[in-house]
A and B are shown apart, each in its own frame.
Chain A
Amino acid sequence: DQQVKQNSPSLSVQEGRISILNCDYTNSMFDYFLWYKKYPAEGPTFLISISSIKDKNEDGRFTVFLNKSAKHLSLHIVPSQPGDSAVYFCAASVRYGGATNKLIFGTGTLLAVQP
């Protein structure tokens, strides 16, 4: 039962254009959403997050949009650069075991930005 879904395994975009990565979730109890970026042979690194009470958060070239009614979030990268080529994971936070939150990750989307 995949609670966080990234239905596009890969995405290819031209340098300078917009990249849009999508994520769907099923659990309405998620209270925080995060995006991570992962290069080969490295651990994931935190990119941007959004609280469930907001619908948009922006940080430089990266913007995350949250549509709670559709249980959908997206990451926009504008303009895309070759260095953005990586796997992007969507993650959602939920209370777990009563004591702390845990993150549930999607399966990832491989973004390739073509020069």
Chain B
Amino acid sequence: NAGVTQTPKFQVLKTGQSMTLQCAQDMNHNSMYWYRQDPGMGLRLIYYSASEGTTDKGEVPNGYNVSRLNKREFSLRLESAAPSQTSVYFCASSEFGAGTSYNSPLHFGNGTRLTVT
């Protein structure tokens, strides 16, 4: 019963390097999300995909790109990493749009801890 799986768990990058964070869910959910968590800031939405084939910007999209590869997979790419992107990144999924009247809570992965030096 895997739920939402994120890889890698940890990553250290130098400024300017690129990398892709992978996320896959096995719950047949329609919507997927990328959040970042920073001390004192809560969880902030980076990008989301309401359904397969669509992606949209969240609150803090600058410096990131996403790909909804299929219904299961949603990746987050940092093209040129910056120290300000040091954070813990969480992928999440929900059956319908998060928190709608269908009572569709988000299911989170265990996060990727990224450090950019």
Chain A positions within 8 Å of B, measured between CB atoms, are: 4, 31-32, 34, 36, 41-46, 49, 51, 89, 91-93, 97, 99-103, 105-108
Name which residue of chain A comes closest to B49, CB basis. A100
Contact B99 A101 (CB under 8 A): yes
SS of A interface (majority):
strand
Query: How extensive is the interface on chain B, given as a class?
Result: 20 to 34
**Complexed CA–CA distance, A97 and B109 (Å):** 24
A101: chain B residues at CB < 8 Å are 97-100
Contact B42 A108 (CB under 8 A): yes
Total of A-B residue pairs, C-beta within 8 Å: 78
Can you list 28 residue pairs at the A/B interface with Cβ under 8 Å? A31-B99, A32-B100, A32-B101, A32-B103, A34-B99, A41-B111, A42-B111, A43-B90, A44-B106, A44-B108, A45-B108, A46-B106, A46-B107, A49-B103, A51-B103, A89-B42, A91-B99, A93-B98, A100-B31, A100-B97, A101-B97, A102-B97, A102-B98, A103-B98, A103-B99, A105-B42, A105-B44, A107-B40
B110: chain A residues at CB < 8 Å are 41-43
A97: chain B residues at CB < 8 Å are 56
B106: chain A residues at CB < 8 Å are 36, 44, 46, 103
Type the 1/0 row for B41-72, where 1 means its CB is closer than 8 Å to any CB of A: 11111001010001010100000000000000
Name which residue of chain B comes closest to A94, CB basis. B99
**Complexed CA–CA distance, A102 and B98 (Å):** 6
